[in-house]
Structure 1
């Protein structure tokens, strides 16, 4: 998507302040959070493929809003549409892929295929950055925006061609009791929180996953960092392309680092904080090298922490507890937005350092449950 490496710059060049840009990202997260559950229900009860088609169309509409109404209200509306598009995809793609493989008797291929899709998504940012640079030089943000609209619609058309295994009758059947319970989103969230809190050693791991995952939100500011540090707007996409590549390398090393102790993971995350803080202090294009290294270390820690959580969750409660961690990540992302608004990269480096300090406590097996028992 050629607009990805440039949209934060679009906001800045349209005259928005850092606080307004952070507010846009907060709107994005808030709508994503609210849309996650109902869009997942749509996918399970009707059609996962239809969700993916609708996601492409909705995202295209959001990008079109940015082109035709380049102001805070237009950007906010576009982000809301993009958030809904992302929520329509979240979960639906994985379910469609797994069920299609299961119908073909190849469900054991799911981890390999999903990993390949994820890797290709990161690597695709390289040609997208080059395309963004070329398009911006020819037609500015307008051309980049309309090409992104076309890419989103092309993705919707491609999704319409995906095979879809028939949904089970249990997925389609909804009794009256379920219908009455469905609108109670808050009650469902509270029930998930209670379930998580009752599992020894899981609460801390959920918090760790949520906080480390929330750091991914800083990726939205990489383009602004490059511009603020003296990189010309047209060169920003190529200047920051090494950052997601470093993230891909870090994530690929997560398996090798799976046996690291919590203290070692905290040290890696602390090193990431120092790298980002040093880059913010230098405030020059060369600092992007340190940002890339920081991002790679963060991705490595994220993979390991997620694996630690999965090992602590009983099989019959895995989806529930993982959804709590995802919800926590969305909520924790607001701290990153606020940090950028207050102190930009330096404040985010401080947040990374704080999480590094807390990480050994959060990953200590059973520590949360024991403390709760002593209080009562």
Structure 2
């Protein structure tokens, strides 16, 4: 929650604009950020497996704090670019490491069947964090401008890194492994970084159950890029600018409710997961047809249903992965997710919300099809 409760999130695009950057320059910054994450995703996953998953989470918080400190001390085009590179590496470090540490910690306690529940709570916490973060930004900016917002965000990142140090390692190692000091599983024999990287990528590519789970997660997780368009939807449906952030928070809360609901329900069979995602697609299509401010509630229903299914698909991947390369395999899925998000961007550009709803409806078959392939 702390790693997502950053006041600067809601203002950094305005910081770029007020510093004198144009739309094209800002788009280049976002492209640099995304490109850095793509290039660093799998190598940092292997680093987490080989070195320390907990250490990767700590480093991610420190790097994000460093990026925001750079922006606050010397705002400008090249500094923004450097900050996005640092932040991109930090984001890649945490991607895969968190899921691996969580699953193996639960497995060591014989509670791996609770992964979906705990992961759902984690996802819900991250979404709920946007609410106080937005409120803090609204209070901090009038008091101290971008500088105060930036330094508070740096402090929150450092607090998140400090909390990551408190994550307890597994009490006992996973079968076939031994525990290194921070609890990261490692083979009994010498295991180099390149071997870890090769094993993780090979497992994702060659083990049928893992390959199918990776592709299923990447296909569905790519839909998450739709959150970039929620504010545009609200504006296009006649929502005043002043109320836009409030209504977008309704969608965010819907997503948090969907992810959190996993903790309180039995895991539905794949056919029901597909039906739920299909129902979510129907809600989004209905909102696109109505095109009224109240339609944001239907978007929230869509986002909640999607987030519910996403947690379950991620849990399926974690169940079939070999723990020694878990962070690497999860990072491969995250890399593929970045690529699958391009399909959503293309759907939006070609047909707006209705085509995105159609894409979601097509992807609703993924849980059912993936369950039938081993």
What per-residue deviation string (whole Å, max 9, x for no partner) do you get for residues 161-197 of structure 1? Answer: 5555725797287748x45656xx6x7686345415x
For 2:111, which of 99, 103, 108 is the aligned residue? 108
Aligned pairs for 1:5-84 (under 5 A) are 5-11=10-16, 23-68=28-73, 70=75, 73-84=78-89
- Counterparts of 1:199-278 in structure 2, within 5 Å, are 199=209, 206-223=214-231, 231-232=240-241, 237-254=245-262, 255=265, 258-259=268-269, 260-261=271-272, 264-265=275-276, 267-275=278-286, 277-278=288-289
Alpha-carbon spacing, 1:272–1:150, altered in 2? closer, same or farther (3 Å): same
Q: What secondary structure sits across from 2:7 in the alignment?
A: coil
1:374 is matched with which residue? none
| Conservation of the 8 A alpha-carbon contact between 1:48 and 1:93 | yes
**Cross-structure match for 2:177:** none
2:52 & 2:354 partners in 1: Cα distance?
42
Residues 122 and 248, structure 1, Cα contact 8 Å, conserved in 2: yes
Distance in 1, matches of 2:19 and 2:232, equals 13
Output one character per residue of 1:99-153: Cα deviation in whole Å (capped at 9) or x when no partner.
7778xx8453874655544433333322222212212333344432221112112
- Secondary structure, counterpart of 1:43 in structure 2: helix
| Residues 64, 90 of structure 2: 8 Å contact kept | yes
In structure 2, how many angstroms separate the alpha carbons of the residues matched to 1:156 and 1:304? Answer: 27
Task: Choose from 277, 297, 300 the match for 1:292.
Answer: 300
Q: Per-residue deviation at 1:275?
A: 4.3
C-alpha separation between the residues in 1 aligned to 2:143 and 2:28?
A: 30
**Cα offset for 1:55?**
1.6
Please state whether the residue corresponding to 1:258 is helix, strand or coil.
coil
Q: Distance in 2 between matches of 1:93 and 1:338?
A: 30
Which of 104, 129, 141 is matched with 1:136 structurally?
141
Assess, with a 3 A threshold, how the Cα gap between structure 1 residues 169 and 51 changes in structure 2: closer, same or farther: closer
Distance 1:318 1:162 in 2: 19
> Are the structure 2 counterparts of residues 318 and 300 from structure 1 closer, same or farther at C-alpha, using a change threshold of 3 Å?
farther
Deviation of 1:214 (Å): 1.0
| TM-score, length basis structure 1 | 0.72
CA-to-partner distance for each residue in 1:242-298, whole Å, 9 max, x for gaps? 22210122224454672344762453242144145347x45xx55543432331122
Tell me which residue corresponds to 2:339.
331
Residue pair 1:9, 1:224 contacting (<8 A) in 2 also: no
Seen in structure 2, the aligned counterparts of structure 1 residues 65 and 203 have a Cα distance that, compared at 3 Å, is: same
CA distance in 1, matches of 2:285, 2:245: 25
RMSD after superposition: 4.3
TM-score normalised by length of structure 2:
0.72
Does the aligned pair in 1 maintain the 2:274–2:366 contact within 8 Å? Answer: no
Q: In the TM superposition, what is the alpha-carbon distance from 1:58 to its structure 2 partner?
A: 0.7
Distance 1:262 1:113, change over 3 A: closer
In structure 1, runs of 5+ residues without a counterpart are 370-376
Question: Gapped runs of 5+ residues in structure 2?
Answer: 1-5, 171-180
